[in-house]
Amino acid sequence: MPKFTQANSCNTCPYKDYALTKLQTNDVDLIQNSCLIVNFKKGENVCKQGTEVTHALYLAKGSVKLYIEGKNKNLILKIITQSKYIGLQSLFGDRVYQYTITTLEDSQICMINANIILDLAKKNVNYLFELTRNISEATNFVYKKIIDINQKQLRGRLADVLLHFSENVFRSDTFELKLTRKELAEYSAMSMENTVRILNEYKKDGIIGIEGKVFTIKQPEILRKVAELG
Amino acid sequence: MPKFTQANSCNTCPYKDYALTKLQTNDVDLIQNSCLIVNFKKGENVCKQGTEVTHALYLAKGSVKLYIEGKNKNLILKIITQSKYIGLQSLFGDRVYQYTITTLEDSQICMINANIILDLAKKNVNYLFELTRNISEATNFVYKKIIDINQKQLRGRLADVLLHFSENVFRSDTFELKLTRKELAEYSAMSMENTVRILNEYKKDGIIGIEGKVFTIKQPEILRKVAELG
DNA sequence: TTATAACATTGATGCATATCAATGTTTTGT
DNA sequence: ACAAAACATTGATATGCATCAATGTTATAA
């Protein structure tokens, strides 16, 4: 499989973003002409904290983690799955990535020249409006993340994270998490050892089931109570 | 002083936001007609976490704290001073406030019907573009906040906060902080007692001077080193 | 103008959580 | 197929920080 492909069918792409429906066909063509579909293998960096933003990133297929790199530890802010823009606010703000994005599995990322997107946004208000909604939702999500980190302690945080995956991401009681324990820890803002400890605690208590990377939420009410109480 | 005033001179307002310059005069009039200037006394809530977003909020004069209310403690995300929109992302996202905003001194807030702003944004792409930039910057700021909370410990966080006020907010070595020790603690994500302790530690070491609410940064290099090392 | 509450300060104590350590298990690359 | 590295697990230890407590100080309201 080649590393790059020139996009050639954005208008009919099955992974197309809703915001694109707000554009005229020939404007989508503009994006298409500047759009490179890049194949990333699992574990590759899509963008790197501290570098300049030159492209808009659209996750067509696969999944990625968006995280802040610290001196000792990383903090995963969100897991993003297919058909989503990633890190739009970096286009309109500083133009410097505040975070690193790494693929969790083999993924396809559409990379579109940042200025093309900005120009289209400046011309097409409905398109920009969708992007803005997108950014706003992302901001709200980060706010919730901050609350978790600041207000809850380990057990509550982990309960929250498990419920979030079950209810918002996979929409199922059983799901396979493409994260290592270390990554799950970085997502929950705690040490890897404590993540393992508490997971097995929940398992022993029959609240969840664990089979490698497959999690089963057995008693969501109890988990919700733990998340509630912190 | 009356509690409410109907706006009548937005086009010539000295506290006018830059985004407004992107609008036609008659569009500014639309905002003006729907704009109530509300006088808040120190300590009053401008909006409340969990309630519906019905208005765009513009801080014409004064200062406010934007914070997340938790069960035990609050977390102040930012201090906002005059001539700034506050919480724009709530207009485009959930339409529910994720935070509470309270005045730190007597302040004037312009309240404009949310739908008027949204309609104007949908009609005027340059205006929306400015708002989007605004939201994106706010998001980046929160990212930095998360890093601080997650990666640094008390001394580093407080050093960061003091430098931030000195360099970004007041742009002076000496500044008067309109925050109580408790609020400074909530801004730095730590307990009030430890805030006091560390402040006096810095004072004893000659790194800063404290005279009530007036702070003097005496040795910014050392403070920066502490912030750096965490 | 006095009473009451909010604010500020300092020391002592306890606990949540990270870190260290040891060991087994699973990937990954060659 | 094998070695090396990353991952996972569990227990023991250390510590950063919140919490509690006591007391003084400054606002605020009746």
Q: What is the per-residue pLDDT across B170-182, written as a single tens digit (0 to 9) for each?
A: 999 999 999 999 9
What's the CATH superfamily of B4-149?
Jelly Rolls (2.60.120.10)
Give nearest nucleotide to A210 (CA–C1'): D8
> Distance, in angstroms, between B200 CA and closest chain A CA?
25
- Residue A213 Cβ < 7 Å to strand D: yes
Walk along chain A (230 residues) and give the pLDDT tens digit of each residue: 557 889 888 989 999 999 999 999 999 999 999 999 999 999 999 999 999 999 999 999 999 999 999 888 899 999 998 889 998 999 998 899 999 999 999 999 999 999 999 999 999 999 999 999 999 999 999 998 998 899 999 999 999 999 999 999 999 999 999 999 999 999 999 999 999 999 999 999 999 999 999 999 999 999 999 998 87
Q: How far apart are CA B81 and CA B104, in angstroms?
A: 10
Supply the pLDDT for residue B48: 94
What residue spans define the domains of chain A? 4-147, 152-229
Nearest to A190 by CA among A158, A147, A164, A142: A158
Place of tokens 């003091």: B162
Query: Considering only CB atoms, which chain B residues are within 8 Å of A151?
Result: 68, 70-73, 75
Supply the pLDDT for residue A2: 57
Burial label for A221, CB within 10 Å (0-12, 13-18, 19+), is: exposed
Nucleotide D18 C1' to residue B45 CA (A): 28
Q: How far apart are CA B114 and CA B34, in angstroms?
A: 10
Q: How far apart are CA A87 and CA A50, in angstroms?
A: 13
Residue from A150, A187, A188, A229 to probe the interface with B (highest B Cβ count within 10 Å):
A150
Supply the pLDDT for residue B1: 52
Give nearest nucleotide to B179 (CA–C1'): C7
Supply the pLDDT for residue A41: 92
What's the CATH superfamily of A4-147?
Jelly Rolls (2.60.120.10)
Q: Which CATH class is domain B152-229?
A: mainly alpha
Is the per-residue pLDDT at B2 higher than 70?
no
Q: What is the per-residue pLDDT across B88-121, written as a single tens digit (0 to 9) for each?
A: 999 998 899 999 999 999 999 999 999 999 999 9
Q: Where are the beta strands (DSSP E) in chain B?
A: 4-6, 35-40, 45-47, 55-61, 63-69, 74-81, 84-85, 100-103, 107-113, 174-176, 208-211, 214-217
Nucleotide C11 C1' to residue A188 CA (A): 34
Supply the pLDDT for residue A72: 80
Q: Which of B70, B132, B145 sits opposite A147 (nearest CB)?
A: B70
- Residue A180 Cβ < 7 Å to strand D: yes
Query: How is chain A split among helix, strand and coil, in percent rounded to 5?
Result: 45, 25, 30
**Could you list the protein residues whose CB lies below 7 A from any atom in strand C?**
A 42, 72-73, 153-155, 189-191, 193-194, 212; B 180-182, 192-193, 196-197, 199-200, 210, 213
> Distance, in angstroms, between A144 CA and closest chain B CA?
8
Burial label for A68, CB within 10 Å (0-12, 13-18, 19+), is: buried
Nucleotide C18 C1' to residue B230 CA (A): 15
Q: If contacts are CB pairs under 8 Å, which of residues 33-62 in chain A contact chain B?
A: none
Indicate the SS3 state at residue A40.
Answer: strand
Mean local confidence (pLDDT), B191-206: 97
Torsion angle of C-alpha atoms A121, A123, A124, A128, degrees rounded to 10: 20
